Amino acid sequence: METIVKSVKNGSIRGTVEYGVECYKGIPYAKPPVGELRFQPPVPAEPWDCVLDCTKYRSNPMQNIPEPSVAYPEEYLPDAEAGYSEDCLHLNIWTAQDGQEKKPVIVYLFGGAFETGSANTFFYEGDELADKGVVFVTVNFRIGPFGFLCHPDLREEQGRDGNYGIKDQILALRWIKENIADFGGDPDNVTLMGTSSGASCAEYIALSPEARGLIKNAVIMSYLQVHRPIPNMVDEEQRIQKEAGEHSLADLRAMSPEEVLSTYANVDEWVPVIDGVTIPFTTLDAYRYGTANNVNFMIGGVAGDTPSAGRYAIRELMGPAMDSEEFRTHMIETYGPIMAPRILEDYPFETGEELSQAIDDLKRDELMCYYYMTGKARALHPCGETYIYFGNATLPGREYLGAYHGSDILYWMNNIEGDLAELMSDQLVAFARNGNPNGTGLPVWEPWHGTADFFSWPDNDASHAGMTSTHANFFWQNYGEEQINLQA
Protein backbone atom coordinates (compact mmCIF):
# COMPACT_ATOMS: atom_id res chain seq x y z
CA MET A 1 0.00 0.00 0.00
CA GLU A 2 1.40 3.39 -1.02
CA THR A 3 1.36 6.52 1.12
CA ILE A 4 0.70 10.10 0.07
CA VAL A 5 1.18 13.49 1.72
CA LYS A 6 -1.37 16.27 1.34
CA SER A 7 -1.54 19.79 2.75
CA VAL A 8 -4.62 21.17 4.50
CA LYS A 9 -5.04 24.49 6.29
CA ASN A 10 -3.81 23.09 9.63
CA GLY A 11 -0.71 21.39 8.20
CA SER A 12 0.37 18.30 6.24
CA ILE A 13 -1.17 14.83 6.55
CA ARG A 14 -0.05 11.40 5.39
CA GLY A 15 -2.65 9.01 4.00
CA THR A 16 -2.73 5.80 2.01
CA VAL A 17 -3.48 4.95 -1.61
CA GLU A 18 -5.04 1.64 -2.60
CA TYR A 19 -6.57 0.79 -5.99
CA GLY A 20 -6.52 4.46 -6.94
CA VAL A 21 -8.39 5.69 -3.85
CA GLU A 22 -6.74 7.96 -1.31
CA CYS A 23 -7.73 7.46 2.33
CA TYR A 24 -6.95 9.77 5.26
CA LYS A 25 -8.01 8.62 8.73
CA GLY A 26 -8.11 10.54 11.99
CA ILE A 27 -7.73 14.12 10.73
CA PRO A 28 -8.29 16.46 13.71
CA TYR A 29 -10.92 19.15 13.15
CA ALA A 30 -11.02 20.36 16.77
CA LYS A 31 -8.86 20.53 19.85
CA PRO A 32 -9.21 17.53 22.18
CA PRO A 33 -12.27 18.31 24.36
CA VAL A 34 -10.53 17.43 27.62
CA GLY A 35 -9.84 19.22 30.91
CA GLU A 36 -11.54 22.62 30.91
CA LEU A 37 -12.79 21.94 27.35
CA ARG A 38 -14.90 19.01 28.59
CA PHE A 39 -18.60 19.99 28.25
CA GLN A 40 -17.66 23.01 26.13
CA PRO A 41 -18.46 23.84 22.50
CA PRO A 42 -15.67 22.50 20.28
CA VAL A 43 -12.64 24.67 19.53
CA PRO A 44 -11.03 24.48 16.05
CA ALA A 45 -7.87 22.40 15.80
CA GLU A 46 -4.56 24.25 16.04
CA PRO A 47 -1.96 24.03 13.24
CA TRP A 48 0.71 21.32 13.45
CA ASP A 49 4.29 21.47 12.13
CA CYS A 50 5.12 17.84 11.35
CA VAL A 51 3.48 15.59 8.78
CA LEU A 52 0.57 14.07 10.71
CA ASP A 53 0.17 10.33 10.26
CA CYS A 54 -3.39 9.69 9.04
CA THR A 55 -2.95 6.13 7.86
CA LYS A 56 -5.06 4.53 10.59
CA TYR A 57 -8.04 5.39 12.75
CA ARG A 58 -7.63 7.53 15.83
CA SER A 59 -9.69 7.09 18.98
CA ASN A 60 -13.36 6.15 18.96
CA PRO A 61 -15.67 8.42 20.97
CA MET A 62 -15.68 7.67 24.72
CA GLN A 63 -18.46 5.22 25.58
CA ASN A 64 -19.19 1.93 27.27
CA ILE A 65 -17.62 -0.58 24.90
CA PRO A 66 -20.42 -2.14 22.80
CA GLU A 67 -20.81 -5.90 22.64
CA PRO A 68 -21.21 -7.73 19.30
CA SER A 69 -24.59 -9.23 18.45
CA VAL A 70 -26.13 -11.32 15.70
CA ALA A 71 -27.22 -8.19 13.81
CA TYR A 72 -24.03 -6.22 14.50
CA PRO A 73 -21.06 -8.61 14.69
CA GLU A 74 -17.51 -7.66 15.61
CA GLU A 75 -16.54 -6.27 12.20
CA TYR A 76 -19.37 -3.74 12.32
CA LEU A 77 -18.41 -2.32 15.74
CA PRO A 78 -15.90 0.49 16.43
CA ASP A 79 -12.34 -0.43 15.51
CA ALA A 80 -10.99 -2.02 18.70
CA GLU A 81 -7.37 -1.12 17.96
CA ALA A 82 -8.24 2.59 17.90
CA GLY A 83 -9.37 2.49 21.52
CA TYR A 84 -11.81 4.89 23.18
CA SER A 85 -11.07 8.43 24.30
CA GLU A 86 -12.53 11.91 24.72
CA ASP A 87 -9.89 12.97 22.20
CA CYS A 88 -12.10 11.81 19.34
CA LEU A 89 -12.86 14.89 17.23
CA HIS A 90 -11.43 13.54 14.00
CA LEU A 91 -12.74 12.78 10.52
CA ASN A 92 -11.89 10.27 7.79
CA ILE A 93 -11.80 11.02 4.05
CA TRP A 94 -11.86 8.85 0.90
CA THR A 95 -11.32 10.33 -2.57
CA ALA A 96 -10.38 8.75 -5.90
CA GLN A 97 -7.30 9.79 -7.85
CA ASP A 98 -9.44 10.57 -10.89
CA GLY A 99 -8.23 14.10 -11.63
CA GLN A 100 -11.70 15.49 -11.05
CA GLU A 101 -12.44 18.70 -9.16
CA LYS A 102 -15.63 19.93 -7.52
CA LYS A 103 -16.82 16.39 -6.85
CA PRO A 104 -19.96 16.06 -4.70
CA VAL A 105 -19.19 15.48 -1.02
CA ILE A 106 -21.05 13.04 1.24
CA VAL A 107 -20.56 13.40 5.01
CA TYR A 108 -21.78 10.49 7.14
CA LEU A 109 -22.87 10.64 10.80
CA PHE A 110 -22.98 7.32 12.67
CA GLY A 111 -25.94 6.19 14.77
CA GLY A 112 -26.16 4.54 18.18
CA ALA A 113 -28.89 6.23 20.24
CA PHE A 114 -26.58 9.21 20.95
CA GLU A 115 -24.49 7.04 23.31
CA THR A 116 -22.65 4.38 21.30
CA GLY A 117 -21.03 4.11 17.89
CA SER A 118 -18.11 5.44 15.89
CA ALA A 119 -17.09 6.48 12.39
CA ASN A 120 -14.22 4.01 12.67
CA THR A 121 -15.71 0.83 11.26
CA PHE A 122 -15.79 -1.22 8.07
CA PHE A 123 -19.51 -0.51 7.92
CA TYR A 124 -18.85 3.09 6.87
CA GLU A 125 -15.69 2.88 4.77
CA GLY A 126 -16.03 4.96 1.62
CA ASP A 127 -13.66 3.60 -1.02
CA GLU A 128 -16.50 2.18 -3.14
CA LEU A 129 -18.40 5.48 -3.14
CA ALA A 130 -15.17 7.35 -3.90
CA ASP A 131 -14.81 5.11 -6.97
CA LYS A 132 -18.23 6.38 -8.09
CA GLY A 133 -17.01 9.98 -8.08
CA VAL A 134 -17.74 11.47 -4.67
CA VAL A 135 -15.55 12.56 -1.79
CA PHE A 136 -16.75 10.57 1.21
CA VAL A 137 -16.23 11.74 4.79
CA THR A 138 -17.11 10.13 8.13
CA VAL A 139 -17.09 12.17 11.33
CA ASN A 140 -16.47 11.26 14.95
CA PHE A 141 -18.20 13.41 17.57
CA ARG A 142 -18.96 13.33 21.28
CA ILE A 143 -21.79 11.11 22.51
CA GLY A 144 -23.38 10.17 25.83
CA PRO A 145 -22.74 12.60 28.70
CA PHE A 146 -19.73 14.06 26.88
CA GLY A 147 -21.90 15.09 23.95
CA PHE A 148 -25.32 15.77 25.45
CA LEU A 149 -25.04 16.63 29.14
CA CYS A 150 -27.34 19.39 30.38
CA HIS A 151 -26.35 20.87 33.75
CA PRO A 152 -27.35 24.13 35.49
CA ASP A 153 -23.70 25.11 35.99
CA LEU A 154 -23.06 24.72 32.27
CA ARG A 155 -26.01 26.94 31.42
CA GLU A 156 -24.71 29.56 33.87
CA GLU A 157 -21.21 29.29 32.39
CA GLN A 158 -22.18 29.29 28.70
CA GLY A 159 -25.69 30.75 28.52
CA ARG A 160 -26.98 27.43 27.23
CA ASP A 161 -26.03 23.77 27.53
CA GLY A 162 -26.30 20.40 25.80
CA ASN A 163 -25.97 19.60 22.08
CA TYR A 164 -22.15 19.45 22.21
CA GLY A 165 -22.16 16.48 19.84
CA ILE A 166 -24.18 18.42 17.27
CA LYS A 167 -21.89 21.42 17.67
CA ASP A 168 -18.98 19.06 16.94
CA GLN A 169 -20.68 18.01 13.71
CA ILE A 170 -21.26 21.63 12.66
CA LEU A 171 -17.59 22.48 13.31
CA ALA A 172 -16.59 19.43 11.23
CA LEU A 173 -18.76 20.74 8.40
CA ARG A 174 -17.00 24.11 8.65
CA TRP A 175 -13.64 22.31 8.43
CA ILE A 176 -14.92 20.47 5.36
CA LYS A 177 -16.10 23.75 3.81
CA GLU A 178 -12.58 25.17 4.20
CA ASN A 179 -10.53 22.11 3.21
CA ILE A 180 -12.46 19.68 1.03
CA ALA A 181 -11.40 21.32 -2.26
CA ASP A 182 -7.88 20.00 -1.51
CA PHE A 183 -9.38 16.48 -1.82
CA GLY A 184 -11.20 17.26 -5.09
CA GLY A 185 -14.51 18.04 -3.40
CA ASP A 186 -16.96 20.89 -4.00
CA PRO A 187 -17.37 22.85 -0.74
CA ASP A 188 -20.69 24.18 -2.02
CA ASN A 189 -22.18 20.74 -2.71
CA VAL A 190 -22.16 18.80 0.56
CA THR A 191 -24.70 16.08 1.38
CA LEU A 192 -25.09 15.23 5.06
CA MET A 193 -26.14 11.63 5.68
CA GLY A 194 -26.94 9.70 8.85
CA THR A 195 -28.65 6.63 10.22
CA SER A 196 -30.84 6.45 13.34
CA SER A 197 -29.55 9.02 15.86
CA GLY A 198 -27.08 10.16 13.19
CA ALA A 199 -30.08 10.88 10.97
CA SER A 200 -31.67 12.84 13.79
CA CYS A 201 -28.54 14.98 14.02
CA ALA A 202 -28.52 15.46 10.23
CA GLU A 203 -32.09 16.74 10.29
CA TYR A 204 -31.39 19.09 13.20
CA ILE A 205 -28.40 20.46 11.29
CA ALA A 206 -30.59 20.94 8.22
CA LEU A 207 -32.85 23.07 10.44
CA SER A 208 -30.16 24.89 12.42
CA PRO A 209 -29.39 28.58 11.84
CA GLU A 210 -25.79 27.82 12.88
CA ALA A 211 -25.39 25.45 9.91
CA ARG A 212 -26.97 27.61 7.21
CA GLY A 213 -25.00 27.31 3.98
CA LEU A 214 -22.97 24.30 5.10
CA ILE A 215 -25.03 21.55 3.43
CA LYS A 216 -27.07 21.33 0.24
CA ASN A 217 -28.70 17.92 0.67
CA ALA A 218 -29.50 15.52 3.51
CA VAL A 219 -30.13 11.77 3.63
CA ILE A 220 -32.23 10.92 6.71
CA MET A 221 -32.14 7.16 7.24
CA SER A 222 -34.32 5.25 9.69
CA TYR A 223 -35.27 8.07 12.03
CA LEU A 224 -38.66 9.78 12.21
CA GLN A 225 -38.57 13.14 13.89
CA VAL A 226 -41.52 15.21 12.71
CA HIS A 227 -43.88 13.82 15.37
CA ARG A 228 -41.38 13.54 18.23
CA PRO A 229 -41.27 15.98 21.14
CA ILE A 230 -37.88 17.37 22.11
CA PRO A 231 -37.09 18.58 25.65
CA ASN A 232 -35.77 22.03 26.43
CA MET A 233 -32.44 22.27 28.20
CA VAL A 234 -33.88 23.17 31.63
CA ASP A 235 -36.23 20.18 31.66
CA GLU A 236 -33.36 17.96 30.57
CA GLU A 237 -31.13 19.29 33.37
CA GLN A 238 -33.79 18.33 35.90
CA ARG A 239 -34.34 14.87 34.41
CA ILE A 240 -30.62 14.05 34.38
CA GLN A 241 -30.15 15.24 37.97
CA LYS A 242 -33.14 13.20 39.08
CA GLU A 243 -31.74 10.05 37.45
CA ALA A 244 -28.04 10.52 38.31
CA GLY A 245 -27.95 12.84 41.32
CA GLU A 246 -26.39 16.29 41.64
CA HIS A 247 -22.69 16.79 40.88
CA SER A 248 -20.74 20.02 40.62
CA LEU A 249 -19.24 21.01 37.30
CA ALA A 250 -15.79 21.25 38.92
CA ASP A 251 -16.08 17.67 40.16
CA LEU A 252 -17.28 16.44 36.77
CA ARG A 253 -14.34 18.05 34.97
CA ALA A 254 -11.93 16.55 37.48
CA MET A 255 -13.21 12.99 36.95
CA SER A 256 -11.63 10.46 34.62
CA PRO A 257 -13.71 9.66 31.51
CA GLU A 258 -14.59 6.29 33.01
CA GLU A 259 -15.81 8.00 36.20
CA VAL A 260 -18.05 10.29 34.15
CA LEU A 261 -19.62 7.28 32.44
CA SER A 262 -20.11 5.59 35.81
CA THR A 263 -21.62 8.73 37.35
CA TYR A 264 -24.25 8.89 34.62
CA ALA A 265 -24.80 5.15 34.22
CA ASN A 266 -28.42 5.43 35.40
CA VAL A 267 -29.44 8.11 32.92
CA ASP A 268 -32.13 6.57 30.74
CA GLU A 269 -31.22 8.30 27.48
CA TRP A 270 -29.14 11.08 25.95
CA VAL A 271 -30.87 13.39 23.48
CA PRO A 272 -30.51 16.78 21.78
CA VAL A 273 -32.42 19.66 23.36
CA ILE A 274 -33.99 22.95 22.39
CA ASP A 275 -31.32 25.48 23.38
CA GLY A 276 -32.61 28.52 21.49
CA VAL A 277 -29.61 28.72 19.15
CA THR A 278 -28.31 25.45 17.69
CA ILE A 279 -31.80 23.94 17.93
CA PRO A 280 -34.29 26.80 18.34
CA PHE A 281 -37.49 24.80 17.75
CA THR A 282 -38.91 21.31 17.50
CA THR A 283 -38.63 19.81 14.03
CA LEU A 284 -42.32 20.33 13.35
CA ASP A 285 -42.25 23.94 14.54
CA ALA A 286 -39.22 24.72 12.36
CA TYR A 287 -41.26 23.58 9.35
CA ARG A 288 -44.37 25.37 10.59
CA TYR A 289 -42.53 28.68 11.08
CA GLY A 290 -40.54 28.45 7.86
CA THR A 291 -37.12 28.63 9.54
CA ALA A 292 -35.67 25.44 7.99
CA ASN A 293 -32.61 25.81 5.77
CA ASN A 294 -33.06 25.16 2.05
CA VAL A 295 -31.90 21.51 1.88
CA ASN A 296 -33.13 18.69 -0.37
CA PHE A 297 -34.13 15.56 1.56
CA MET A 298 -33.95 11.86 0.81
CA ILE A 299 -35.73 10.27 3.77
CA GLY A 300 -37.09 6.85 4.65
CA GLY A 301 -36.61 3.60 6.48
CA VAL A 302 -36.67 -0.17 6.34
CA ALA A 303 -39.21 -2.77 7.42
CA GLY A 304 -37.47 -3.37 10.75
CA ASP A 305 -37.84 0.28 11.75
CA THR A 306 -41.56 0.00 12.28
CA PRO A 307 -41.56 -0.99 15.98
CA SER A 308 -39.93 2.30 16.93
CA ALA A 309 -41.74 4.43 14.37
CA GLY A 310 -45.39 3.46 14.72
CA ARG A 311 -47.12 5.12 17.64
CA TYR A 312 -50.20 2.89 17.61
CA ALA A 313 -50.88 -0.63 16.35
CA ILE A 314 -47.50 -1.30 14.84
CA ARG A 315 -45.54 -1.43 18.08
CA GLU A 316 -47.80 -4.15 19.43
CA LEU A 317 -47.96 -6.12 16.20
CA MET A 318 -44.35 -7.22 16.66
CA GLY A 319 -45.38 -9.62 19.45
CA PRO A 320 -46.60 -13.21 19.09
CA ALA A 321 -48.43 -14.08 15.89
CA MET A 322 -52.13 -13.22 15.95
CA ASP A 323 -54.98 -15.17 14.48
CA SER A 324 -57.59 -13.36 12.41
CA GLU A 325 -60.02 -12.66 15.27
CA GLU A 326 -57.26 -11.37 17.55
CA PHE A 327 -56.10 -9.07 14.75
CA ARG A 328 -59.61 -7.68 14.16
CA THR A 329 -60.05 -7.10 17.89
CA HIS A 330 -56.67 -5.42 18.07
CA MET A 331 -57.56 -3.09 15.19
CA ILE A 332 -60.78 -2.01 16.89
CA GLU A 333 -59.02 -1.42 20.21
CA THR A 334 -56.30 0.60 18.48
CA TYR A 335 -58.14 2.59 15.83
CA GLY A 336 -61.70 2.58 17.18
CA PRO A 337 -64.96 1.16 15.79
CA ILE A 338 -65.19 3.68 12.93
CA MET A 339 -61.64 3.62 11.55
CA ALA A 340 -60.89 -0.08 12.10
CA PRO A 341 -63.42 -1.45 9.58
CA ARG A 342 -62.00 0.90 6.96
CA ILE A 343 -58.48 -0.40 7.58
CA LEU A 344 -59.64 -4.01 7.46
CA GLU A 345 -61.25 -3.35 4.06
CA ASP A 346 -57.96 -2.03 2.70
CA TYR A 347 -55.93 -4.91 4.15
CA PRO A 348 -58.10 -7.94 3.44
CA PHE A 349 -57.14 -11.50 4.34
CA GLU A 350 -58.66 -14.96 4.40
CA THR A 351 -55.75 -17.30 5.12
CA GLY A 352 -52.99 -17.14 7.70
CA GLU A 353 -50.49 -16.28 4.98
CA GLU A 354 -52.68 -13.42 3.80
CA LEU A 355 -53.00 -12.18 7.40
CA SER A 356 -49.22 -12.13 7.75
CA GLN A 357 -48.94 -10.13 4.52
CA ALA A 358 -51.68 -7.73 5.67
CA ILE A 359 -49.80 -7.06 8.91
CA ASP A 360 -46.53 -6.48 7.01
CA ASP A 361 -48.29 -4.06 4.65
CA LEU A 362 -49.91 -2.24 7.55
CA LYS A 363 -46.58 -1.86 9.33
CA ARG A 364 -45.02 -0.45 6.18
CA ASP A 365 -47.87 1.93 5.47
CA GLU A 366 -48.05 3.41 8.96
CA LEU A 367 -44.30 3.99 8.79
CA MET A 368 -44.68 5.66 5.41
CA CYS A 369 -47.54 7.76 6.78
CA TYR A 370 -45.11 9.62 9.01
CA TYR A 371 -42.59 10.10 6.21
CA TYR A 372 -45.47 11.43 4.11
CA MET A 373 -46.17 13.90 6.93
CA THR A 374 -42.53 14.99 6.88
CA GLY A 375 -42.93 15.81 3.19
CA LYS A 376 -46.12 17.72 3.89
CA ALA A 377 -44.53 19.63 6.78
CA ARG A 378 -41.55 20.60 4.61
CA ALA A 379 -43.96 21.84 1.93
CA LEU A 380 -45.61 24.36 4.30
CA HIS A 381 -42.73 26.72 3.55
CA PRO A 382 -40.83 25.07 0.66
CA CYS A 383 -37.27 24.25 1.71
CA GLY A 384 -36.12 21.82 -0.99
CA GLU A 385 -37.42 18.63 -2.61
CA THR A 386 -38.32 15.58 -0.51
CA TYR A 387 -37.70 12.03 -1.81
CA ILE A 388 -39.22 9.25 0.33
CA TYR A 389 -38.20 5.58 0.36
CA PHE A 390 -38.88 2.20 1.95
CA GLY A 391 -36.47 -0.76 1.94
CA ASN A 392 -37.06 -4.45 2.58
CA ALA A 393 -33.76 -5.98 1.42
CA THR A 394 -32.01 -8.45 3.72
CA LEU A 395 -28.33 -9.10 4.28
CA PRO A 396 -26.85 -12.36 2.93
CA GLY A 397 -26.56 -14.88 5.75
CA ARG A 398 -28.92 -12.86 7.93
CA GLU A 399 -32.11 -13.22 5.92
CA TYR A 400 -33.92 -14.55 8.99
CA LEU A 401 -33.48 -11.13 10.65
CA GLY A 402 -35.40 -9.37 7.90
CA ALA A 403 -34.57 -5.82 6.88
CA TYR A 404 -33.49 -4.77 10.36
CA HIS A 405 -32.62 -1.29 11.61
CA GLY A 406 -29.39 -0.20 9.90
CA SER A 407 -29.09 -3.22 7.63
CA ASP A 408 -29.38 -1.03 4.51
CA ILE A 409 -26.17 0.89 5.23
CA LEU A 410 -23.99 -1.65 3.42
CA TYR A 411 -26.20 -1.29 0.33
CA TRP A 412 -26.00 2.52 0.28
CA MET A 413 -22.22 2.41 0.71
CA ASN A 414 -21.86 -0.31 -1.96
CA ASN A 415 -19.93 -2.30 0.65
CA ILE A 416 -21.75 -5.49 -0.25
CA GLU A 417 -21.75 -7.25 -3.62
CA GLY A 418 -24.76 -7.31 -5.91
CA ASP A 419 -26.99 -5.35 -8.28
CA LEU A 420 -29.07 -3.85 -5.48
CA ALA A 421 -26.03 -2.26 -3.82
CA GLU A 422 -24.93 -0.90 -7.19
CA LEU A 423 -28.39 0.59 -7.74
CA MET A 424 -28.79 2.13 -4.28
CA SER A 425 -25.28 3.60 -4.25
CA ASP A 426 -25.84 5.02 -7.76
CA GLN A 427 -29.05 6.67 -6.53
CA LEU A 428 -27.20 8.07 -3.52
CA VAL A 429 -24.42 9.47 -5.71
CA ALA A 430 -26.97 11.00 -8.11
CA PHE A 431 -28.71 12.66 -5.17
CA ALA A 432 -25.41 14.00 -3.85
CA ARG A 433 -24.47 15.32 -7.26
CA ASN A 434 -27.79 16.93 -8.25
CA GLY A 435 -30.10 16.92 -5.22
CA ASN A 436 -32.12 14.34 -7.15
CA PRO A 437 -31.75 10.52 -7.06
CA ASN A 438 -32.69 10.14 -10.73
CA GLY A 439 -30.26 9.63 -13.58
CA THR A 440 -29.53 7.76 -16.78
CA GLY A 441 -30.35 4.08 -16.35
CA LEU A 442 -31.93 4.57 -12.91
CA PRO A 443 -35.60 3.85 -12.17
CA VAL A 444 -37.81 6.92 -11.87
CA TRP A 445 -38.01 8.30 -8.32
CA GLU A 446 -40.63 11.01 -7.98
CA PRO A 447 -40.37 13.67 -5.25
CA TRP A 448 -43.13 14.13 -2.67
CA HIS A 449 -46.09 15.75 -4.38
CA GLY A 450 -48.94 15.56 -1.90
CA THR A 451 -49.72 11.85 -1.83
CA ALA A 452 -48.42 8.92 0.21
CA ASP A 453 -46.25 7.55 -2.62
CA PHE A 454 -42.67 6.41 -2.13
CA PHE A 455 -39.78 4.60 -3.79
CA SER A 456 -39.42 0.99 -2.70
CA TRP A 457 -36.83 -1.77 -2.78
CA PRO A 458 -39.32 -4.54 -1.87
CA ASP A 459 -36.72 -7.33 -1.82
CA ASN A 460 -33.14 -8.08 -2.85
CA ASP A 461 -33.93 -7.99 -6.58
CA ALA A 462 -32.89 -4.61 -8.00
CA SER A 463 -35.24 -5.06 -10.96
CA HIS A 464 -38.24 -4.91 -8.59
CA ALA A 465 -37.37 -1.41 -7.33
CA GLY A 466 -39.68 1.46 -8.20
CA MET A 467 -42.40 3.84 -7.10
CA THR A 468 -45.33 2.45 -5.12
CA SER A 469 -47.97 3.66 -2.71
CA THR A 470 -49.73 2.71 0.49
CA HIS A 471 -52.73 0.40 0.19
CA ALA A 472 -55.00 3.18 1.44
CA ASN A 473 -53.45 6.40 0.22
CA PHE A 474 -56.32 8.71 1.11
CA PHE A 475 -56.81 7.11 4.53
CA TRP A 476 -53.15 7.49 5.54
CA GLN A 477 -53.01 11.07 4.34
CA ASN A 478 -55.97 11.97 6.51
CA TYR A 479 -54.81 9.84 9.42
CA GLY A 480 -51.41 11.53 9.44
CA GLU A 481 -52.93 14.98 9.37
CA GLU A 482 -55.13 14.06 12.33
CA GLN A 483 -52.09 12.94 14.35
CA ILE A 484 -49.82 15.86 13.46
CA ASN A 485 -51.15 19.40 13.48
CA LEU A 486 -49.59 21.04 10.46
CA GLN A 487 -51.32 24.39 10.80
CA ALA A 488 -48.70 27.11 10.56
Show the low-confidence residues of the chain (pLDDT under 50): 307-318
The predicted pLDDT at position 312 comes to 39
Q: Classify domain 2-483 at the CATH superfamily level.
A: Alpha/Beta hydrolase fold, catalytic domain (3.40.50.1820)
The predicted pLDDT at position 321 comes to 64
**Nearest C-alpha neighbor of 327 from the set 306, 353, 368, 358:** 358
The per-residue b/e assignment along 183-205, b for 16 or more CB within 10 angstroms, e otherwise, is bbbbeebbbbbbbbbbbbbbbbb
Torsions phi, psi for 413 (to 5 deg):
-80, -10
- Assign 86 to helix, strand or coil: coil
User: Residue 107 pairs with which residues in a beta bridge?
Assistant: 137, 192
The predicted pLDDT at position 323 comes to 80
Residue extents of the structural domains in the chain: 2-483
Q: What is the pLDDT of residues 263-322, one digit of tens each?
A: 999 999 999 999 999 999 999 999 999 999 999 999 999 998 864 444 334 444 445 567
- Full-model pTM: 0.95
Give CA–CA dist 217/239, Å, rounded: 34
The predicted pLDDT at position 355 comes to 87
